Amino acid sequence: MNEHDEREELGRLLPAVPVERGLPAERHSHHKDVLMQLIDQDHRSHQDHQDHQDQRSRRPRIVPSRLPWPALLAGAVAVALAAGLTVGVGAGRDAGSAPDRAAVSGAPGGGSRSAVGTLDRIAAVAMRTDVGPVRDGQFVYVRTRVSENESDWGKPVKPGALHDREVWFSQKQGPLVEYGLIRENGDDFPIRILVPKGSDGEAAGIDRPTYAWLASLPTDPGALLRKLYAETPVSEGEDRDQAVFQRIGELVAEQLLPSATAAAIYQATARIPGVTEVADAVDAAGRHGIAIAREDTRMGLRTEWIFDPGTLGYLGERSVLTRTSAMGRAGTVFDTRAVLERAVVDQRGQEPGERRRASRS
């Protein structure tokens, strides 16, 4: 399929009518045009991969909206734009290879001494945390407060307004095309997988994690890390260690992790080269905590997972500029988020309070 045909096919995938609570016709047309522009931009970027300078000027693969890579918000490009998400379709991606032996074994190639110690303590707390199983027909619900950069990469950082974002992820194991819902800025948008025509969708896996899939992962940290490196897609020129760190961050932020899996994930993170500890970081709700961090030196951006200093429970995440540039001074917050509520509900769009009221009636 040539580029023109591919764009035509993608255009047909966008709904011709409002989705869920709906968009006015003129807004839907605008978002469709924006998506087509992003696709064109992505094709141009892909053609420039061989030019090192162009690679450095490209926006990093940051997914502040926390959607797995294949997810496409049909009719909801506005959400992606507000979140600073570059919608990439057709870009070349290579599967990540297995990690270096030093990283897997916990040898000097892994995290800093302080980060390893803190992650061990976080893992111990996670192991003691009682997390009930989630049934196939249920949804994992997460409410997050977010503020994200609204300017283009390379331009001065412009923080967006703080607002709450709710997501519902289906826990069905079988193939799905539409597997969740986002509620943001007063609108509901379905979360969809971009799949070939006639496909039944995508089954549970690293790009569409479910509680049951997470529970099936190895609980040995070394084996788990090897699996994550093998299954995490990595774009050409991307730091594969950072890609795995980012993917783990997505699992921690907007999923419900079984206790043993959570403990293994934190122990595995300690073995990723370049992982460090930040003594004080602040999430989008203003809560201070200690952070487990890793810097993408190519992009000059450090991602920090923030934990409560007392309970070691996960609070949120932020990204910080690590060098002074046209974007701002080193230390400038690029984006920030805070997890406010995490629960299991029986229906898409149902909030935890509604479920509790229904159970009492």
At 326 the pLDDT is 96
Residue environment code for 90-128, b if the CB has 16+ CB neighbours within 10 A, otherwise e: eeeeeebeebbeebbebeebbbeeebbebbeebbebbbe
pLDDT tens digits along 109-122: 689 999 999 999 99
Cβ atoms 263, 124 nearer than 8 A:
yes
For 64-106, the pLDDT digits (tens) are 334 443 343 333 333 333 333 222 222 233 333 444 433 433 3
Percent of the chain topping pLDDT 90: 63
Query: Residue 355: its pLDDT value, please?
Result: 57
Long-range contacts of 154-160 (CB under 8 A, 24+ apart): 154/57, 154/59, 154/325, 154/326, 154/327, 155/326, 155/327, 156/326, 156/327, 156/328, 157/321, 157/327, 157/328, 157/332, 157/333, 157/334, 159/333, 159/335, 160/82
* Model pLDDT for residues 135-190, shown as the tens digit of each residue: 999 999 999 999 999 999 999 999 999 999 999 999 999 999 999 999 999 999 99
Query: Is pLDDT above 50 for 192?
Result: yes
Q: Provide the pLDDT confidence category of residue 345 given band limits of 50, 70 and 90.
A: very high
Tell me the whole-structure pTM to 2 decimals: 0.73
- Predicted confidence at residue 294, as pLDDT, reads 98
Average pLDDT of the chain is: 78
pLDDT of residue 109: 63
**Cα–Cα nearest to 212, from 252, 263, 173:** 173
Where do the structural domains in the chain lie, given as residue ranges?
Answer: 3-360
Which of the two residues, 130 and 37, has the higher pLDDT score?
A: 130
Tens digits of residue pLDDT in 243-259: 999 999 999 999 999 99
Q: Say if residue 193's pLDDT is above 60.
A: yes
* Percentage, residues of the chain above pLDDT 70: 68
pLDDT at 274: 97
pLDDT tens-digit readout, 6-55: 545 544 444 433 333 333 333 333 334 434 444 444 444 444 433 333 33
